[in-house]
Amino acid sequence: MSTVKYDNPDKPPEKQDEEEVQPVQEFKYYLKHEVSYKIIEQKWVMFCLLAAVGYLFHLSWAIAGVNMYTDYTRMIPCGTA
Is residue 35 pLDDT above 60, yes or no? yes
pLDDT value for 24: 87
- The string over 33-62, giving b where at least 16 C-beta atoms fall within 10 Å of a residue's C-beta and e elsewhere, is eeeeeeeeeeeeeeeeeeeeeeeeeeeeee
In the chain, domain spans: 44-72
pTM: 0.51
- Amino acid identity of residue 7, one-letter, is D
DSSP H or E segment with residue 29: helix 27-30
**Cβ-based neighbours of 40, under 8 Å, separated by 6 or more:** 47
